[in-house]
């Protein structure tokens, strides 16, 4: 079966579900405190349980993801993702919902790695950049729309947002019946899961690209967590107004990733990643000196543009340089480290804030962005020389694959 644009759309929806896993409930948490008879401090565990489970089981699933057909993992994980949502809707017990959220995280753990792995199976050269830009756009749309959807559903009742997750159940049936199996059948003895995945970390390009994924999500959560504090405490905005401001970041990401393919035809992925970190770092450094919304808004847009460039190019780069026999394991480690970045960002920067102030928080995160940009630029030759050799050895396979129909920019 030929891999069509509608199949790429399915991958984008899969990525959207992965993003919505935590973002959907974020604005609803305060309204859940009373019906679940818990505290404002403990209610945050509904997000933490999901994130922790996803980080752990991304690695667990990565152990055998290279040895099993893609759909054999993706379809059950979509079901595991959706069923706890239905049960949570009918429950008012905090402990039970925490368990269900942990189970739900198991299902979510495979969604992004499998999306990237199928793209690696099917798309070559600049086509993979285009495909990953569409996935990045789906993630950006999820980061903007999922909280809004959660808030709208919560207007009907605190438990209604859980019903959103049930949409993955009919989607699982669509994937089962319509998505082509893309895994090339090979001797499974060559695939040793995470063992090969961790062996691949001996290569500098692989381990550094995984670090880049960690770093860009670290920077992302420095914005998501601390820009609202700055808007509320310094500029006097409400939480709702701060949330709307962050939505502009998502709009910038969507706008940027739609143009990554054209940039990739002119510049190397290393150059695009470095540029993304430069824009993100400069935006964060500048936010620390901003004292009005007129100054903050363009900086949020600038950060969104930098994040969109870097994140899309990083994900494209990792699927290109990961060894074939351990691609699934490497992608699982890569995505797990993104979750580590989201977890460590508020912890590390929280320590900074406890000793200094918000100005220092943005200075630290901005400096990290510029440092990663500098190191990436200095490593440009290492990446580009290796890529040239890879392209020379696989010139035929890097041409347009007969398995794929021409990509439509309108996806």
DSSP string, 94-163: HHHHHHHHHHHHHHHHTHHHHHHHHHHHH--HHHHHHHHHHHHHHHHHHHHHHHHHHHHHHTT-TTGGGG
Q: Give the pLDDT confidence score for residue 400 in this predicted structure.
A: 44
Distance between CA 242 and CA 294 in Å, rounded?
A: 14
| Cβ neighbours around 231 below 10 Å, total | 23
- The pLDDT score that the predictor gives to residue 241 is 64
Burial class (CB in 10 A: 0-12, 13-18, 19+), 255: middle
Secondary structure (3-state) at 3: strand
Global pTM?
0.74
Angstrom distances, CA of residue 332 to CA of 116, 128, 213: 10, 18, 12
List the pLDDT tens digit at each of the 411 positions of the chain. 577 788 889 999 999 998 888 778 876 777 888 898 888 667 778 877 888 888 888 888 877 776 778 888 899 999 999 999 999 999 889 999 999 999 999 999 889 888 888 888 888 766 777 787 788 788 878 877 787 788 788 888 889 999 999 999 999 999 999 888 887 665 455 555 566 677 777 888 889 999 999 999 889 878 877 777 777 666 666 655 666 676 777 788 878 877 777 787 788 888 999 999 999 999 999 988 877 778 888 898 899 899 988 988 898 888 888 887 777 778 888 888 887 887 788 778 888 888 888 889 899 999 999 999 999 999 888 877 765 444 444 443 444 444 555 555 544
- Distance (Å, rounded) from C-alpha 263 to C-alpha 348? 34
Q: What is the pLDDT of residue 316?
A: 83
How much is the pLDDT for 411? 45
DSSP class per residue in 343-364: HHHHHHHHHHHHHS-HHHHHHH
Residues 141, 254: contact at Cβ < 8 Å?
Answer: yes
CA dihedral 185, 189, 190, 192 (to 10 degrees): 110
Domains of the chain as residue ranges with CATH: 5-178 (1.20.1250.20), 197-393 (1.20.1250.20)
pLDDT at residue 258, rounded to an integer:
75
């Amino acid at each position: 079966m030929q891999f069509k644009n509608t199949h790429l759309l399915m991958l984008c929806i899969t990525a959207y579900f992965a993003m919505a896993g935590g973002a959907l409930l974020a604005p609803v948490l305060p309204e859940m405190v009373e019906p679940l008879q818990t505290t404002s401090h403990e209610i945050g565990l509904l997000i933490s349980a999901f994130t922790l489970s996803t980080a752990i089981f991304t690695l667990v699933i990565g152990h055998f993801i290279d040895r099993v057909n893609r759909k054999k993992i993706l379809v059950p994980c979509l079901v595991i993702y959706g069923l706890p949502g239905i049960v949570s809707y009918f429950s008012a017990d905090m402990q039970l919902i925490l368990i269900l959220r942990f189970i739900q995280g198991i299902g979510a753990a495979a969604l992004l790695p499998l999306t990237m792995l199928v793209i690696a199976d099917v798309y070559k050269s600049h086509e993979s950049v285009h495909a990953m830009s569409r996935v990045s756009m789906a993630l950006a749309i999820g980061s903007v729309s999922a909280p809004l959807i959660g808030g709208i559903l919560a207007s009907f009742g605190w438990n209604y947002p859980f019903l959103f997750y049930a949409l993955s159940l009919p989607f699982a049936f669509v994937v089962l019946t319509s998505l082509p199996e893309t895994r090339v059948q090979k001797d499974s003895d060559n695939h040793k899961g995470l063992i090969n995945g961790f062996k691949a970390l001996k290569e500098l390009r692989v381990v550094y690209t995984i670090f880049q994924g960690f770093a860009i999500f670290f920077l992302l959560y420095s914005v998501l967590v601390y820009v609202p504090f700055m808007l509320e405490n310094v500029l006097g905005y409400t939480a709702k107004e701060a949330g709307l401001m962050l939505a502009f970041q998502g709009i910038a990401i969507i706008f940027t990733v739609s143009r990554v393919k054209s940039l990739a035809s002119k510049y190397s992925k290393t150059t695009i990643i470095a540029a993304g970190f430069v824009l993100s770092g400069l935006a964060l450094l500048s936010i620390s000196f901003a004292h009005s919304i007129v100054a903050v808004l363009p900086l949020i847009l600038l950060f969104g543009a930098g994040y969109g460039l870097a994140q899309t190019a990083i994900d494209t780069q990792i699927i290109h340089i990961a060894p074939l026999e351990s691609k699934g394991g490497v992608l699982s480690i890569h995505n797990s480290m993104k979750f580590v970045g989201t977890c460590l960002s508020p912890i590390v920067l929280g320590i900074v804030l406890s000793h200094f102030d918000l100005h220092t928080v943005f200075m630290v995160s901005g400096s990290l962005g510029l440092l990663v940009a500098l190191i990436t630029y200095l490593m440009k030759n290492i990446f580009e020389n290796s890529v040239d050799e890879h392209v020379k050895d696989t010139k035929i396979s890097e041409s347009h694959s007969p398995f794929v129909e021409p990509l439509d920019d309108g996806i």
